[in-house]
Structure 1
Amino acid sequence: MHIDAIYAWIVTIDPTTTSTDFTGQSEQNSADIDFYDALLNKAKRKKLPSPSMSSPSKRQRLEDSDPFVDCDATPRRPVTSAPDSILSNSAPSFDIPVRFTPEKNLRAALPSDAHDLYDALVTAEYCEAILPAALKDVPGLELPDTRPYMWQQADKTTDNRTNISIVDKNSRFQEIIERSNESSKLRRSEAAWNSHVHWHILSQLAETSSVRVEDITSARIVPRFRPCFTASDDFPDETGSSSTGSYSTNSNTSASRVNTAKSVHKMVDFALVLEPDQDLAAIIERLTKFPHDATVNQTAYFPLKNRPAPVFIETKTAAGNGETADVQLGIWIAAWHGSMRSLMKRGGMVERIITVPLIQVTEGRWTVMFAVDAGSEIQIAYRDFKIGSSDGPIGMYQLQAALLAITKWMEGAYKTWITRVVSRALAQPQVSQEKS
């Protein structure tokens, strides 16, 4: 029997078992054991409160390395968090549902902490002052369908070196546009889109001295922050319904069960992470020293362990399943909220979690939503909020303005908030990590 399967079985029957690495391999491996396999394969269905999705029948093993636990023959008990965690004294509750809520007046539906970012993104949405004035003087450059309000004011202090840089960036934009349109024509896969197009956009437009882009398709949620399953009766046969004005992740359809099974294995694609300054880095390093899966986010994936990541990006193709993308974002943001609540509880903070943007990309089209801490639930508030596209020059300059607004928010409001959260958490008496 695979050692990971043995470990998963031990944890299901012994909630006091810590996340010790029995294999002698990296600690990340044991932290990333996927306990969803054991829960999703139960003969008697279990319900996921956040997001509340029903589960599929037994899935097939995808790889030889994929641990298999036969839950019909294995005793099962809920997975609990490791004791004496510096970040939390008990496993966070995921009984708060995640609800996707369309809003006609999105700004009014958002807390005030998101208004400045929202306003900046609306400016990008309407293409206001997104085009550098230097582009007007480039011979042979065609920018179809431009309007006067799209152009920035000419800056008399701009030197020739700056103008050359602007022209060079426009050339790189043209290369991305060609790759994007080619990917659409060839019907490339999601992974191919990510490598051919999306990564280049993010690395060129979203990276600053303190913001970095990470491919997080290999990241997994640490066990104590994974959405919990609670025992329930078998789901009825009727299909789930959605209420007017909102979309909840509650659904009993067989398609949803399949989507949930896939979603817990394949998480979101990219994250924008904050590269902490020296002071913040020192605080986070002390906070995440113990246990081995301690993290300032919801995953122990090493690039995100000590670098706060408030912005997550889910990509899909035109043929992709929108519901699956929503489920993946819902699970990921629910786990992130769980991690933030754990940190805030540690520091004695009783307040709303900061509102964060979520980005969905469908081939070349980029849209944004907002994850709102609504107390009794996590609301994903949205409308058709396009912030750019990679199929033409106007869309690329839209994206440049939108991603600039998001990185400024990360370096400003978000950095201030997360610094306060981790500082308060570290200031509290630490639970001893000594093991007998």
Structure 2
Amino acid sequence: MPHEVRDMVAGAKDYFFRPEDQEQSAHARDTYVALSSIVDVACASNDYKRHEASWNHLVHTPLLQLVFGPVPPRGSNTQQQSASNIQSSQKPPAVHFEVVMSAIVVGSAIPNIREPGSAILNIREPGSGIPDPAYSVSLNTSVKDSDTSTVDKNLDDPDNFHSRKESKKVDYVLAMCINDDDKLKKVIKAASYEPHLAYGHVNQTSITSLLYNPIAVSIETKIDGSRADPIIQLGLWVAAWHKRMGELRKRRFPPTPKAYRPPGTTETKPFVPKLVPVPLIEVKSHDWYISFAFDMVESIEIRGCTLLGSTDTIVKAYALITNLGLVKRWIETEFYQGITDWFTKDDSVLEAQDAKSRTAGGVDNQERVSVG
């Protein structure tokens, strides 16, 4: 907690506070007042058994705005240089949060249902070869006629359908807003252009505010007593993002016959790069938890469930906004670099890096749990 508010927090220990920081003094008390208000409203929301939508409106949105600020102006980035591994002449990307409760997943990004260790199963009709989509789907409004509300006969044409609006996805995302003069922005626009739409979209959803801003973190909120498991919704949502990103990379670098031999085996497989692991945040009333989705090429594994902080006390709330600040810095650095590699480095470079990594560090033997 900031040194400047130590006289405002009853019962706090000395080691709760950071050394005095002159640069932050002007904002420390304002932040304390805003955060205290959020904690008070959160506790009242818990006492009154408010609905999830009320929590989002009264607690979660103000907290995210406190950490990430308002959406940056279009085509600009006024953030100060903070990433040590980015050239000094280039500003880091801005990070902003976006409310995506009504976002739909485009048809080509909807993941299919598959049983572990097998080919795609759950065929809609025996012998049809068409798998069940993981989301409930409907025809795109641009091609739907008045008598049609499902797409049972159109699943082989992803341009004609999307997820239903009532098919619940997630509540918020943290997105990376890349500078217009950044080469990566130009590459993303070119790779994601869709002729049938006459514009592009880098993510699994074509919501206008996120067209060329890659989603870094997805957030799903619940209240105590909810039967739905937020990790299921987060898993489906991030699976759709991986599918979309894989499609865009294939456009940039079509698969080649190059192959490599995994260490300790005689099997050869074509080299497939991996996306940077991305955080998933579950909010259960007061408590915020973080997990990580790892790209395992043939599946996505979700690991961990660590408490970031809470809104039930001011001390836990400071821990929460501090950890969210670290997530913000990660988006500006590691996530930015990972997405840059995904869109600009070809297989031969990535293969060499992978081989060097395996030689230096060996194979990761950590136990992995596949969640979906």
For the aligned pair, the TM-score class normalised by the smaller chain equals 0.5 to 0.7
CA distance in 1, matches of 2:50, 2:296: 38
Cα offsets for 1:90-113 (capped at 9, x unmatched): xxxxxxxxxxxxxxxxxxxxxxxx
What residue number does 1:287 align with? 191
What residue number does 1:153 align with? 19
The structure-2 alpha-carbon separation of the partners of 1:347 and 1:281, relative to structure 1 and needing over 3 Å to count, comes to: closer
Query: Does 1:343 find its partner at 2:248?
Result: yes
Aligned counterpart in structure 2 of residue 381 of structure 1, from 292, 303, 307: 303
Aligned counterpart in structure 2 of residue 224 of structure 1, from 77, 101, 108: 108
What residue number does 1:318 align with? 224
Give the Å deviation of 1:264.
7.1
Aligned counterpart in structure 1 of residue 321 of structure 2, from 400, 410, 419: 400
The structure-2 alpha-carbon separation of the partners of 1:424 and 1:343, relative to structure 1 and needing over 3 Å to count, comes to: farther
CA distance in 2, matches of 1:194, 1:219: 16
What residue number does 2:177 align with? 275
What residue number does 2:151 align with? none
Cα offsets for 1:389-410 (capped at 9, x unmatched): 1111111111111111101010
CA distance in 2, matches of 1:263, 1:218: 6
Which range moves more in the overlay, 274-283 or 367-376?
Answer: 274-283
CA distance in 2, matches of 1:379, 1:350: 16
What residue number does 2:290 align with? 368
CA distance in 2, matches of 1:149, 1:394: 12
Aligned counterpart in structure 2 of residue 189 of structure 1, from 36, 48, 51: 51
What residue number does 2:156 align with? none
Letter in 1 for 2:227: N
Between the two proteins, the alignment pairs up a number of residues equal to 260
What residue number does 2:332 align with? 411
Aligned counterpart in structure 1 of residue 205 of structure 2, from 293, 299, 303: 299
The structure-2 alpha-carbon separation of the partners of 1:263 and 1:331, relative to structure 1 and needing over 3 Å to count, comes to: farther
The question of whether the paired residues in 2 share the 8 Å contact of 1:143 and 1:394 is answered with no
The question of whether the paired residues in 2 share the 8 Å contact of 1:347 and 1:424 is answered with no
The question of whether the paired residues in 2 share the 8 Å contact of 1:310 and 1:356 is answered with yes
CA distance in 2, matches of 1:329, 1:266: 10
Letter in 2 for 1:142: V
The question of whether the paired residues in 2 share the 8 Å contact of 1:387 and 1:402 is answered with yes
The question of whether the paired residues in 1 share the 8 Å contact of 2:171 and 2:219 is answered with yes
CA distance in 1, matches of 2:337, 2:169: 27
TM-score under structure 2 length normalisation: 0.65
What residue number does 1:334 align with? 239
The question of whether the paired residues in 2 share the 8 Å contact of 1:263 and 1:328 is answered with no
Give the Å deviation of 1:322.
4.0
The structure-2 alpha-carbon separation of the partners of 1:193 and 1:332, relative to structure 1 and needing over 3 Å to count, comes to: same
Aligned counterpart in structure 1 of residue 9 of structure 2, from 104, 118, 142: 142
Give the Å deviation of 1:344.
2.6
Amino-acid identity (%):
28
Over the aligned positions, Cα root-mean-square deviation in angstroms equals 2.5
The question of whether the paired residues in 2 share the 8 Å contact of 1:225 and 1:298 is answered with yes
Give the Å deviation of 1:294.
3.8
The question of whether the paired residues in 2 share the 8 Å contact of 1:344 and 1:350 is answered with no
TM-score under structure 1 length normalisation: 0.55
Give the Å deviation of 1:134.
1.4
Q: Map of 1:55-94 to 2, 5 A cutoff? A: none
Letter in 1 for 2:240: A
Cα offsets for 1:112-155 (capped at 9, x unmatched): xxxxxxxxxxxxxxxxxxx111112x4xx1243x3443221234
Letter in 2 for 1:284: I
Give the Å deviation of 1:316.
0.4
CA distance in 1, matches of 2:18, 2:121: 58
Cα offsets for 1:194-249 (capped at 9, x unmatched): 01000000011134841111000111111011022555489xxxxxxxxxxxxxx9
Where in structure 2 are there 5+ consecutive unaligned residues? 73-78, 80-93, 114-119, 125-133, 135-162, 254-270, 347-372
Give the Å deviation of 1:287.
2.7
